[in-house]
Amino acid sequence: MIDPTPVLVASGLILALLAAALGLRGDGQRAWVSLSLAALAPMAACLTTLVVFGRGLPFLPKDFLDSVLVVGAAAVPLGVLVGLGGVRALLGALGAGGLGVWLYLGRTESLHERYWGGAVTEHVAVLLGATTLAVAVRWAGTARSRVTESSLGFALAAVLAAPALGWSGTLVSALLAATISASSGLPGLLLLLRPGLREGYAPLYRAAALPQVLLLAGFLANGALYAETPPWAALTLLLAPIICLLPGASLRSAVLRLLVVTLACSAAAWWSRGEPNPYGY
């Protein structure tokens, strides 16, 4: 049984940062500040979760999960660039790609020969490709005017990633996945209840989406590579929100898409049960 206290405390921080970001959104200096708060919320919530949980925060990354948190921290300024748009968005996207290469290639070296059989390019290509597609799916939500639905779809996938990771032997990753769910779900619920807030929200959404996706992809990779999370289940949980981009503009269609996301992720979580790896964390 997972103690929800760390996630609940982190959720309070998410709401505070979200309220500040919404209150400060605008042009000029206010845009920088609001985008920074939006991009910071996922990572700040993850760190809060770890502190409340009682896990140490080493200055230098000692393992893969530590490296995922480094990527999340580095993604904050890149998320701000993405939120600003134009050429700066391209720079942010390129920077995120570099982070992915460093994480999956440089921080998984112990797996290359013994577990990957030297097929490093193939494994890294799958990890990078899935993460890139997941980021593109989130950003496409703004292009299709589905910011609310995309936020909720990603939140559903992340919250169901929590039991999948926990059941397969990595409790800390499970807690952090739940935290990432809150960082996307709480804004999604707020926009659902207050549709008027959607105006001008898209840049904040894009800024926060980058660290959210990179962190969740890292947590799922940690489960797949270092615990017993089935790789197909991890990919399903990461990519299921693509369903939110299917055609249909009615409320009924949106509800149906979210239901399909829930069913797909529930199946992935259920089939992740099994004997956990005692070395997964």
pLDDT tens, position by position, 9-28: 999 999 999 999 998 887 77
pTM above 0.85, yes or no: yes
Q: What is the pLDDT of residues 142-200, one digit of tens each?
A: 988 899 999 999 999 999 999 999 999 899 999 999 999 999 999 999 999 998 888 88
Give the angle subtended at the CA of 50 by the CAs of 45 and 54, to the nearest 5°: 145
Residue 1: band (very low, low, confident or very high) from pLDDT cuts 50, 70, 90: low
In the chain, the percentage of residues whose pLDDT exceeds 70 is 96
pLDDT beyond 80 at 59 = no
Give residue 278's pLDDT: 45
pLDDT beyond 80 at 280 = no
CA distance 59 to 38: 24
- What's the longest Cα–Cα distance across the chain? 54
* H helix intervals, the chain: 5-24, 29-53, 64-84, 86-101, 120-143, 147-167, 171-193, 202-226, 231-239, 251-270
Which long-range contacts does 67-71 make (Cβ < 8 Å, 24+ apart)? Answer: 67/103, 67/107, 67/218, 68/103, 68/215, 68/218, 68/219, 68/221, 68/222, 69/43, 69/215, 71/99, 71/100, 71/102, 71/103, 71/214, 71/215, 71/218
Q: Please give the DSSP secondary-structure letter assigned to residue 28.
A: T
Give residue 246's pLDDT: 95
Give residue 275's pLDDT: 52
Average pLDDT, the chain: 93
Greater confidence, 37 or 60? 37
Give residue 30's pLDDT: 84
CA neighbor of 225 nearest in space, from 122, 61, 111, 134: 111
Q: What is the pLDDT of residues 80-134, one digit of tens each?
A: 999 999 999 999 999 999 999 999 999 999 999 989 998 999 999 999 999 999 9
